[in-house]
């Protein structure tokens, strides 16, 4: 038997306690409660992009993926800091905030809280990928949503396993079980209000990477990431390459990879900002 929870306002309540095989009932209940949740309908779109939060995945006692001495936490921090500099150069009027600017552990809920507290307009989380098949390489950019393939679920599970390093994660993440596909589907249904804009930004990132710097792109995908779950703005998670693949690993650990990837992401954000603000201006005229 598994126990599932949801929120009604600020109150955590038990929704059901059913055997694993009764799959369809939990999914229907999830849809009902998400539809009724304030988080699924509240939109706070502004006319311009003025604050961007950059999130370097992992850190401190959480190294993330690692292979041949290359650690995800170090790669993500290098790309995140370089991205911030490039965004500031292209958009000096935009405030750049980092969830971490050094090798420290930041809990997943706190990363979203930083973005929400600063009323950010975009949240960009930087990560690296890994798989047992060492021939797979390339970038992927995720928005929150239903994982349409098993491999998307596996990426989400790996990144979400970080919650196991946090205290009181069951209460903090509302009964979330990182080993449960049902839990990931539950979280993937949040952020609906910002899904379209998140996907637009993700598409621009992958386009800049594949066409701008001629790197292998595995495209835009959707899955249920805890780090994106409670952000109240368009949010994406970029898997910048596979540390498990030799070519990607060598690229990610070098200054060329850090510089090219951060530049491609910055160009995508700049392009998105122009498009978004032009659209906002047209709607208000």
- Say whether pLDDT at 285 is over 50: yes
**Average pLDDT for residues 155-172, to the nearest whole number?**
57
Give the model's pLDDT for residue 222. 85
φ and ψ at residue 101, rounded to 5 degrees? -120, 15
CATH class (in words) of the domain with range 51-274:
alpha beta
User: Is the pLDDT assigned to residue 169 strictly greater than 50?
Assistant: yes
What pLDDT is recorded for position 150?
53
How many residues comprise the chain?
A: 285
Sign of CA dihedral 189, 194, 199, 201: negative
| Span 155-168, average pLDDT | 58
- Inter-residue contact 243 to 165 (CB < 8 Å): no
Where helices occur in the chain by DSSP H, the ranges are 24-36, 72-90, 108-117, 150-160, 169-172, 181-188, 195-207, 226-229, 246-253, 255-283
**pLDDT grade for 2, boundaries at 50, 70 and 90:** very low
> pLDDT, tens digit, for every residue of 13-56?
343 344 443 444 444 444 444 444 444 444 555 789 999 999 99
Rounded Cα distance between 137 and 141, Å, is 13
What is the overall mean pLDDT for the chain?
79
Pairing of strands 122-129, 51-56: parallel
In the DSSP assignment, the letter for residue 73 is H
Do 225 and 45 touch, CB atoms closer than 8 A? no
User: Is 269's pLDDT higher than 80?
Assistant: yes
Q: How confident is the model at residue 232 (pLDDT cuts 50, 70, 90)?
A: confident
The pLDDT > 90 percentage for the chain reads 57
Q: Looking at the predicted structure, is the pLDDT value of residue 175 above 80?
A: no
Render 9-43 in DSSP notation, one character per residue.
Answer: TTEEEEEEEE-TT--HHHHHHHHHHHHHSGGGT--
Stronger pLDDT, 71 or 180, i.e. the higher one: 71
Residue-wise pLDDT for 244-253, tens only, equals 999 999 999 9
- Does residue 170 surpass a pLDDT of 60? no
Choice among 59-68, 114-123, 275-284 with the minimum mean pLDDT: 275-284
Report the pLDDT value the prediction gives residue 108, as an integer from 0 to 100: 84
Lowest mean pLDDT among 34-38, 147-151, 234-238: 34-38
What are the domain boundaries of the chain?
51-274
What are all long-range contacts of 59-66, with beta carbons under 8 Å and residues at least 24 apart? Answer: 59/100, 59/102, 59/103, 59/104, 59/105, 59/106, 60/103, 60/104, 60/105, 60/106, 61/105, 61/165, 62/105, 62/162, 62/165, 64/127, 64/128, 65/128, 65/129, 65/130, 65/158, 65/243, 65/244, 66/243
Q: Taking residues 199-223, what's their average pLDDT?
A: 95
Please determine, for residue 220, whether its predicted confidence score (pLDDT) is greater than 70: yes
Question: Looking at 42-51, 197-206, 234-243, which range is the least confident one?
Answer: 42-51
Q: Grade residue 185 by pLDDT with cuts at 50, 70 and 90.
A: low
pLDDT value at residue 165: 60
Confidence of residue 12 (pLDDT cuts 50, 70, 90): very low
């Amino acid at each position: 038997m598994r126990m599932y929870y949801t929120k009604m306002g600020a109150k955590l309540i038990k929704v059901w306690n059913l055997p694993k095989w009764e799959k369809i009932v939990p999914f229907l209940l999830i849809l009902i409660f998400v539809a009724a949740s304030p988080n699924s309908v509240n939109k706070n779109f502004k006319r311009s992009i003025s604050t961007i939060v950059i999130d370097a995945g992992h850190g401190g006692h959480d190294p993330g993926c690692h292979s041949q001495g290359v650690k995800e936490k170090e790669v993500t921090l290098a790309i995140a800091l370089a991205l911030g500099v490039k965004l500031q150069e292209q958009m000096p009027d935009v405030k750049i905030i980092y969830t971490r600017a050094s090798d420290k552990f930041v809990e997943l809920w706190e990363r979203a809280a930083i973005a929400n507290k600063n009323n950010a307009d975009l949240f960009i989380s930087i990560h690296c990928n890994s798989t047992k098949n060492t021939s797979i390489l390339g970038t992927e950019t995720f928005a929150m949503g239903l994982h349409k393939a098993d491999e998307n679920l596996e990426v989400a599970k790996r990144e979400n396993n970080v919650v196991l390093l946090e205290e009181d994660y069951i209460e903090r993440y509302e009964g979330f079980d990182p080993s449960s596909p049902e839990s990931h589907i539950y979280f993937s249904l949040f952020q609906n209000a910002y899904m379209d804009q998140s996907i637009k930004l993700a598409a621009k990132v992958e386009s800049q990477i594949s066409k701008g710097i001629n790197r292998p792109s595995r495209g835009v995908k959707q899955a249920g990431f805890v780090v994106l779950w409670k952000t109240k703005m368009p949010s994406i998670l970029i898997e910048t390459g596979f540390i498990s693949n030799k070519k990607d690993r060598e690229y990610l650990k070098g200054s060329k990879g850090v510089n090219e990837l951060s530049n491609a992401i910055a160009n995508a954000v700049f392009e998105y900002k122009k498009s978004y603000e032009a659209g906002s201006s047209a709607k208000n005229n």
